[in-house]
Chains A and B, each alone.
Chain A
Amino acid sequence: MATRTTESTDSTATAAAGIRIRMYRVGFGDFFLMSVPAADGTMAHILVDCGVHAHDLGVIGGAVEQMKADTGGKLALVIMTHRHADHISGFASASDVFQTFAVERVWMSWFEDPKDKQALKIQAGIAATAAHLQAALALRAAPGDDEYLRMAGNALGVSKGGGNAGALVMLHGFKTAEGGPTPVDYYAAGDTPTLPASLAAAGLEADILGPPRDLNLVAQMDNAAHQYLTSGAANDDGPAELFSPAYAVRSFPWPKDDQPIFTPQEIENRVIASQPDALAAAAQKADNALNNQSVVVLFTFRDKTLLFSGDAQWGNWANFLFGGAIGTPGHTDLTDRSRQVLGNLDFYKVGHHGSTNATPMDVVKAMKAGCVAMCSTDPGAYGNPLKGTEVPRTPLLAALTAKTGNQLARSDQVPVGSVPATAGLAAVAAPFKSETPGTIDYWI
Chain B
Amino acid sequence: MTADATVEPGQAAPPPADSAPPALDIYAPSLKIPKPQWRPLKAFAYDPSRGRRLGNCMSIAIRYEKLSPGPVGDRFAVVDYDGAQKTYYAPVNLDDPAILIQGGLDPSEVDPRFHQQMVYAVASETLERFEAALGRRVHWRHAVDADGRQITGRKDRLLLHPHAMREANAFYSPDVHGILFGYFRASKTDPGQNLPGQTVFTCLSHDIVAHETTHAIVDGIRAYFMEPTNVDVAAFHEAFADLAALFRHFSHRETLIDTLQKTGGKLYALHLKTASSATPDEEAADKGKTGAQIQADIAEANPLIGLANQFGEASGMHGSLRSALGTPPNSKDIETVTEPHDRGSILVAAVFDAYFSVYLARATPLLRIYRSGGRDSDDLPTALAELLAREASRTAEMFFTVCARALDYCPPVDITFGDFLRALITADRDFYPDDTDGVRDALMQAFRLRGIVAEDAAYFSEGSLCWPEIEAGTLPVYGLLFGDPNGLLPDEQKHNGDLLRAWAAKNAHILGFKDGIEIEVPSFHPMFRVAQDGTLKVEMVVELIQTHPDEQADGIGGGPLPLRSGVTLIIGQPSIRGRKRNDPYVRYAIAKKLDAPREQRLRTTLAASEIAKQDASGRITIDFRLIHGGA
Contact = CB atoms under 8 A, between A and B. Distances in A.
Interface of A: 214, 216-217, 219-220, 223, 227-228, 230-231, 233-235, 237, 239-240, 242-244, 247-255, 258-262, 267-268, 270-276, 278, 281, 288, 314, 318, 324-333, 357, 360-362, 388, 395
Contacts of B176: 267, 270-271, 274
B529 interface: no
B184 A274 contact: no
A138 B165 CA distance: 22
Contacts of A260: 77, 154-155, 157
19 contacts: A231-B629, A233-B188, A247-B111, A249-B90, A261-B151, A261-B154, A262-B151, A262-B177, A267-B79, A271-B176, A274-B165, A324-B336, A328-B231, A328-B336, A328-B338, A333-B600, A333-B601, A361-B603, A361-B607
B87 interface: yes
Nearest to B336: A216
B40 interface: no
Given A240-B166, A259-B154, A274-B175, A329 B453 contact: yes
A332 B338 contact: no
Contacts of B151: 261-262
A165 B72 CA distance: 57
A340 B339 CA distance: 30
A247 B605 contact: no
Nearest to A334: B600
Contacts, number: 214
Contact of B608 (A240, A281, A331, A360): A360
Given A252-B81, A253-B68, A328-B336, 11 more contacts: A217-B338, A230-B190, A235-B184, A235-B185, A243-B110, A247-B113, A248-B90, A249-B90, A261-B151, A261-B159, A276-B166
Contact of A281 (B83, B111, B187, B626): B626
A240 B184 CA distance: 8
Contacts of A395: 554
A273 B175 contact: yes
Interface of B: 68-70, 72, 77, 79-91, 110-113, 143, 151, 153-157, 159, 161, 163-169, 173, 175-177, 180, 182-188, 190, 197, 199, 230-232, 314-317, 334-339, 451, 453, 552-554, 556-558, 597, 600-601, 603-605, 607-608, 610, 625-626, 629-630
A249 B336 CA distance: 50
A268 B81 contact: yes
A239 B85 contact: yes
A220 B232 CA distance: 16
Contact of A267 (B81, B86, B168, B232): B81
B335 A234 contact: no
Given A243-B110, A252-B91, A329-B453, A275 B184 contact: no
Contacts of A362: 600, 604
Given A227-B630, A276-B165, A252 B82 contact: no
B603 A267 contact: no
B187 A325 contact: no
Contact of A253 (B87, B91, B180, B626): B91
B167 A252 contact: no
A275 B166 CA distance: 8
Contacts of A270: 175-177
B186 A281 contact: no
Contact of B155 (A244, A258, A274, A333): A258
Contact of B81 (A243, A259, A271, A281): A271
A329 B86 CA distance: 48
A326 B88 contact: no
B187 A233 contact: yes
A345 B88 CA distance: 61
A278 B80 CA distance: 22
Contacts of A262: 143, 151, 159, 177
Which of B68, B86, B90, B610 has the most CB atoms of chain A within a 10 A radius of its CB? B610
Contacts of B197: 237
B631 to A, nearest CB: 10
Given A231-B315, A361-B607, A330 B335 contact: yes
Contacts of B85: 239, 242
A276 B608 contact: no
Nearest to B177: A261
Given A214-B336, A261-B157, A361-B553, A276 B169 contact: yes
A223 B113 CA distance: 36
Contacts of A327: 230-232, 601, 605
Contacts of B89: 242-243, 247-249
B553 A230 contact: no
B155 A259 contact: yes
B185 A234 contact: yes
B339 A216 contact: yes
Given A271-B83, A281-B629, A247 B112 contact: yes
B629 A324 contact: no
A278 to B, nearest CB: 6
Contacts of A227: 317, 629-630
